């Protein structure tokens, strides 16, 4: 039963690479500004995540279509430029969430077009097929979005006792510092350490029982030979 759990966990890690395993923010340390500043509340999270979906995913897919046909220096120029062009329709969609969000987080929408996650992703998909690269981009976008969403929920609840501007806890103590950049860094570091602890605990559990099972198999074989 325990070995079956270990195998299922490893299959789960392979299938969710980029989402839970090898998360671009918590594990790889990419696109950290999106997890620290815009995640002050759910409105900022939704706006930046939507902009990333429109700009990041198609750009990575186009990178797989072009493959290694372009020199690395040209890739560094072309793909941010494509992402910038996609930011034009993204701006109209984001305005539906909050008309003033571009005035509040303007520079972070620009960073969607030139950030470490985009550079990492377009280089990773150079030799991948278009369908596989699309799945790769969607997984990494979802992994980044889940981390930023979790940060946004925690920070808005602790700072204002609300979610999406709706007050849920009126008389609870407030911690305004969590909406500052310093609070975002502390929260992100805590989340990274917490999930790494869980992952390592599960790995230690599975390795321990796999070793025990391997030790039992030779013993059972020897018993069988003795009975013969």
Q: Is residue 190 part of a domain?
A: yes
Q: Average pLDDT over the chain, rounded to whole?
A: 83
Q: Is 211 exposed, middle or buried (0-12, 13-18, 19+ CB in 10 A)?
A: exposed
What tokens does 55 get? Answer: 């700009």
Q: Is residue 221 part of a domain?
A: no
pLDDT computed for residue 4 by the predictor: 74
Alpha-carbon distance of 36 to 108, in angstroms, equals 11
Range of the domain at 178: 2-166+173-216
Supply 133's token pair: 């690269």
Is 44 domain-assigned? yes
The more confidently predicted of residues 208 and 156 is 156
pLDDT at residue number 52: 92
Number of domains composing the chain: 1
Could you tell me if residue 207 is inside a domain? Answer: yes
Q: pLDDT of 35-70, one tens digit each?
A: 887 788 888 888 889 999 999 999 999 999 988 788
Neighbours of 174 (CB within 10 A): 13
**What is the pLDDT at residue 227?**
47
* Distance set, CA 19 to CA 12, 14, 107, 168 (Å): 11, 10, 26, 29
For residue 223, being part of any structural domain is answered with no
Asked whether residue 226 is domain-assigned, the answer is no
Read off the tokens for 212: 């025990």
- Give domain status of residue 23, yes or no: yes
Q: Is residue 15 part of a domain?
A: yes
């Amino acid at each position: 039963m325990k070995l079956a759990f270990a195998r299922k966990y490893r299959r789960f890690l392979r299938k969710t690479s980029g989402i839970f395993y090898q998360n671009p923010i918590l594990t790889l340390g990419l696109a950290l500004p999106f997890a620290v500043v815009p995640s002050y509340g759910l409105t900022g999270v939704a706006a930046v995540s939507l902009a990333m979906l429109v700009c990041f995913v198609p750009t990575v897919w186009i990178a797989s279509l072009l493959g290694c046909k372009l020199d690395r220096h040209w890739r560094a120029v072309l793909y941010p430029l494509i992402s910038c062009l996609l930011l034009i329709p993204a701006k109209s969609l984001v305005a539906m969430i909050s008309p003033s969000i571009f005035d509040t987080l303007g520079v972070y929408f620009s960073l969607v077009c030139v950030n470490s996650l985009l550079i990492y992703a377009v280089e990773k998909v150079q030799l991948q097929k278009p369908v596989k690269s699309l799945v790769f981009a969607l997984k990494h976008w979802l992994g980044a979005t889940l981390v930023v969403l979790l940060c946004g929920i925690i920070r808005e609840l602790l700072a204002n006792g609300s979610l999406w501007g709706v007050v849920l806890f009126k008389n609870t103590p407030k911690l305004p510092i969590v909406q500052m950049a310093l609070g975002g860094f502390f929260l992100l570091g805590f989340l990274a350490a917490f999930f790494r602890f869980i992952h390592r605990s599960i790995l230690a559990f599975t390795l321990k029982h796999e070793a025990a099972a391997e030790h039992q198999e030779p013993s059972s074989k020897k018993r069988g030979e003795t009975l013969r």
